[in-house]
Amino acid sequence: MNTKLWIAAASLLATAAHADTTVITQRTTTQPEAVIVTVNQQRVAFNGPGPIMIGGDSVFVPLRGVFEQLGGQVQWESATQVITGARPGHQFRIRIGSDQALVDGTQRTLTVAPRVINETTYVPLRFASEALGASVDWEPSTHTVLITSAPTEAVVKKTTTTTTTTTVKH
């Protein structure tokens, strides 16, 4: 009887070990597709981790990169895990793990909630960009997100400032 119990236990352990090996192999051989993000035809350079695709159809980006390129400002309140994004005429507030958001004073439900992955705060790109007044398109053949936005007043001033030098002859 003990021999049968021993054989059954050994079979179970061998099966479990094989299942774990299969999962590990799948994780290490499957690489996520790279996602490119552009704002007004300029590729966004992310400091550190870049955008990721979750569930095959939701692109998430680290908190700051895109929003600062849109001329917006982002704040992170670590105690409450609330993210506030603002740009002239637009503002949003979202909380990590919540599908509820406040956009320009109106309550909205998100299709996917923001999250923290490997100590980096990721937000749903489409939601946050549109909440700041930008339009978002997806180019599936190149895995590129195309964000288009009218420049903010601060961006216009920054890009149109010129220096004039006058030479006076004596």
Amino acid 112: pLDDT: 92
Average predicted confidence (pLDDT) for the chain: 77
Alpha-helical segments (H) within 30-146: 65-69, 125-131
Amino acid 56: pLDDT: 80
| 2 located within any domain | no
**Could you report the per-residue pLDDT of 130-155, keeping only the tens digit for each?**
998 999 999 999 999 999 987 655 44
| 121 located within any domain | yes
Amino acid 22: pLDDT: 32
Structure tokens that stand for 110 in this block: 């998100």
The CATH number assigned to the domain holding 66 equals 3.30.457.10
Decide: residue 37, CB within 10 A, 0-12 exposed, 13-18 middle, 19+ buried.
Answer: buried
| 7 located within any domain | no
Give the rounded percent of residues in the chain with a pLDDT score beyond 90. 49
Amino acid 54: pLDDT: 87
| 27 located within any domain | no
| 93 located within any domain | yes
Domain count for the chain:
1
What does DSSP assign to residue 141?
T
Q: Which domain holds residue 83?
A: 36-152
| 118 located within any domain | yes
Per the CB < 8 A criterion, the answer to whether 63 and 83 are in contact is yes
* 7, 11, 17, 23 alpha-carbon torsion, rounded to 10°: -170
What does DSSP assign to residue 88?
T
Amino acid 82: pLDDT: 96
Question: What's the pLDDT band for 164 if we cut at 50, 70, 90?
Answer: very low
Q: What is the pTM of this model?
A: 0.66
| 112 located within any domain | yes
**Could you report the per-residue pLDDT of 25-56, keeping only the tens digit for each?**
333 334 456 899 999 999 999 888 999 988 88
The pLDDT of residue 159 is above 50: no
| 24 located within any domain | no
Amino acid 135: pLDDT: 95
When computed from its CA atoms, the radius of gyration of the chain, rounded to whole angstroms, is: 24
